[in-house]
Structure 1
Amino acid sequence: MKRIITIVIAVAAFLAAEHTADAQFLKNLLKKATTETTAASAATSNGQAAGAALKALYTQYKADGKIDLSNINNIMNLAALANNVKDLKGKTNKSAFYKDFAAGLVTGSNSLVTSSNSTAVMNGLSKLVNNVDLTALQGKASEVVENVTTKGSAALEDANQIATSVSSILKLLK
């Protein structure tokens, strides 16, 4: 909300001072506020998509008692999770991106991730993104959809390591 107010104030000031020496300063302020708002939107959107994938994985995990890698929906949800957490790499829990991502994660998971478990879940996702190579699964997930029988085994091998890490995160949600 503060970012939106900052943008509105900057726009109003810019319009009032368009032909003054302060116009460039106000343009820069507006650009910075817009950039920060866009970054927050991306973090929140990524968090929401990751939360939705985590919720779907958790629902199936509860039904199967494991992450079944022969289930194409699990592979696709693992890929969606991997794709949406990748920007957490190198971010600290104090960064705006991390906090906005966490807020989106709660929303996207339909409150499966809550204030009481969000720190542990975010720590698990951070470890996943910082310690596991997610790129292979992301690239191969589309191959799985195209031809599960011939190309699926390679993606499943890559998914196994990710599934193991995600399983430990899902156990936090019980």
Structure 2
Amino acid sequence: MNMVHKIIFTGPVGSGKTTAINVISDIPTVRTESMATDMTRTMKAETTVAMDYGRINLPNNAAIHLYGTPGQERFDFMWDILIEGGIGLVLLVNNDRPNPVRDLRFFISAFKDFIQRTALVIGVTHSDLRPRPSTEDYQQELASLGLRGVPVFEVDARERRDIVLLIESLLCSIDPMVERRKAARS
């Protein structure tokens, strides 16, 4: 059996999408980064302009394909292309940006239809630099948007175990039996 699953990583510039995919991928990642030429260059030298791609290999020739979207709205035409066939969305929010709650609202709105068809998990990065808003603040914002029960975690995009947590949470949101099967194998 050759099962393929596709998870999308999105979020604003500097939220850790490229890093997260790089740290979790079982293959060398494909990155489409270019020199930042606009206000993004004050945050980082390079930025994703098309996508990031990685893969997690699973038993029985199954795989989870990981696609990272560009964070800049001017590349939003790629978002619709990348979500095609996706099973869920990992939204990374950089807590150290000027208004991370506004970023959350923006990306929830931009991916609203996809989220309604699939599943969502939120990873809050850079909480070590700025502890507010808290995960509870994000939960309240999600509830105000009609999204209750969405997992929200503080994560470090450089830490494999944190990204594994996000992916496992997303998969459990899609199929709660995933956690039971995982526990039964332990």
- TM-score by structure 1 length? 0.30
Between Structure 1 and Structure 2, the one with more strand by share is: 2
Between Structure 1 and Structure 2, the one with more helix by share is: 1
- TM-score by structure 2 length? 0.28
